[in-house]
A and B are shown apart, each in its own frame.
Chain A
C-alpha cells in the first residue's frame, strides 16, 4: 500500500509534558506539614515536551534524534502510557511494545527459564503464549546450555540477548526502541538489524531513538529532530541528520 493511504496509528496533538522539579524535595509527610506551615510548596516547572504534534503512519519507521535531555525518552514514555501528558492528547491505535530497557525486572536469583516467564508476562505475554515460545526464545538467545542456570551467573551481554529475544516475540504492532540497544556489541547489532528487517516485512510501526546517526539513516523513513522538548525539524533522514550535525556544531 502506498504510504500516503496508510492510516495513522499514533497521533500526538499539542502534547506538553511538564515535570515539577521541587527546590526542596519533599518525600515525607513531616516535610509536607512543615512546609504547609511555613513557605509555599516551591517548585520549578521543567518542560520536557512542548507542543508536540506528531503523526505516525502504520508501517512507518520513525527516527528521533536530539541531544541528551531533549525529550526523546519522555516522548516514548508518553506514547507508551508510562507518563500521562500534562496537556494535549495522545491517541494510539494498536498494542504498543516499549523496548525502553531490556531486562528491567530480571531476578538474578531465579533461573533463566523462570526469568523468561517473569519478564515475558510483565511485557504482556500470557503464560500460555510463553509456553509456546519458550524454545525459540532460548534458541534465539543461544542460551540452551544455561536454561536452568541462575540468571545472576550470566554476563551482561547474555542478559541483553535474552531480554531482546523475549521482546521480539511480541505480536504488538507498534515498537518503541530506545537507545539502550546501543550497548550491545557488533554481533548484537546484527541481530537488531535482522529484526528491523523483519519488522518492516511484517508491516510493524517502529519509533527508533538513537544517537547512532548512521543507523538512523539506514533504517528510518522519516526523522524528527528534538531540541529542548520541541520538534526542531522533521523530514527525510539524510537531510535531518545533516540538519542535526550542523545545528549541534
Chain B
C-alpha cells in the first residue's frame, strides 16, 4: 500500500481483494438475483425445446420410452416381484432423469454462458441454480402426470402431502453435485466424458429399476449411504406404499443439504476465477 492511502484503517483489506459497496439494498439485490434465475431458466427451457409443441412433447417421450424398455425387461424377461412395479419404475426413471439432466446442464452451463461471464458481473452460482430450475420444470410436469395416475388408480395416498420434501431434497442434491461439476468443468473439459460413465454407475447403484430389499444385506448398506437412493425411496414410500420413517426422512434431508452446502461453498470459492479460465 502506498503512503497516500486514503482508506480508513478498518477498511484496509487484504491484497487481491475487491470490495463493492452496493447502493442497492439487500432485498433489492435478492429480487434481482431471483429475476436472473427465472429469466435464465425460462430462456434455457425455451431454447432447448425450440418453443415448439413437438419440442415439449419430447421431454415427456424420452422417459416414457425408457420406461417401456425397462418395463418389458423387468416384467417379461426378469421378474422383479415389486408390488405396483409400473409406478415404482416410472417414479425412479423420472427422478433419475432429472438428476442426470440437471447435473449435465449445470456442468455445461458456465461454458455456455462464457461470453456473458466475461462481460457482466453477477454471482455466478445463479447460472447453476438456473440450470437446475430448468430441469425442475420437466420434472414437475412428469411428476404431475404420475400423480394423476396415482390418484386415479389408488385414490389420494395418505402421505401425499409429504411429496414436496423428497422433491426439495432431490433439487438440493442435484444442484450441489451440479455446483461441484460446474466448477471442475471450467478447468477439466473431459469431465463430461467421465461423468457419462459415473452417471451410468449411479443408475445401477440406485434403486431405479430394482428394489433394495432384493439385494443381499451387505450391499443394501451401500445403497443406503447414497442420498439419491434415499430420495427415490421416499417418493415411493409416500406415493405407493404409505410408509413413514422419521429417522430415514431426517437423514435424507440432512445429507441432501450437506451436499448442497458443500457444492455451493466450493463453487463460491472458485467463482471469481471463472472469467479468466473460460
Contacts and interface: CB of A to CB of B under 8 A. Distances in A.
Contacts of A109: 46-47, 50-51
Contact of B18 (A28, A29, A55, A81): A81
B19 A28 contact: no
Contacts of B1: 13-14, 89
B interface bracket (residues with beta carbon within 8 Å of A): 35 or more
Contact of A104 (B5, B120, B273): B120
B242 interface: no
Given A13-B7, A53-B2, A104 B20 contact: no
A50 interface: no
A122 B14 CA distance: 29
B120 A122 contact: yes
Given A126-B32, A173-B23, A118 B39 contact: yes
Given A29-B190, A124-B122, A89 B43 contact: no
A184 interface: no
Interface string B110-153: 00010111111110000000000000000000000000000000
A110 B47 CA distance: 9
A152 to B, nearest CB: 13
Interface stretch (A94-102, A139-147, A199-207, A224-232): A94-102
B191 interface: yes
Interface string B1-40: 1101111000111111111111110001001100110110
Given A14-B1, A29-B194, A86 B7 contact: no
Contact of B120 (A11, A105, A127, A173): A105
B113 to A, nearest CB: 8
Contacts of B120: 82, 98, 100, 104-105, 122-123
Interface string A134-175: 000000000000000000000000000000000000001100
8 contacts: A11-B7, A28-B188, A81-B121, A82-B117, A89-B13, A91-B11, A93-B21, A122-B36
Interface of A: 8, 11, 13-14, 19, 27-30, 32, 53, 55, 77-78, 80-96, 98, 100-101, 104-105, 107, 109-110, 117-118, 121-128, 172-173
Interface of B: 1-2, 4-7, 11-24, 28, 31-32, 35-36, 38-39, 43, 46-47, 50-51, 113, 115-122, 187-191, 194, 272-273, 275-276
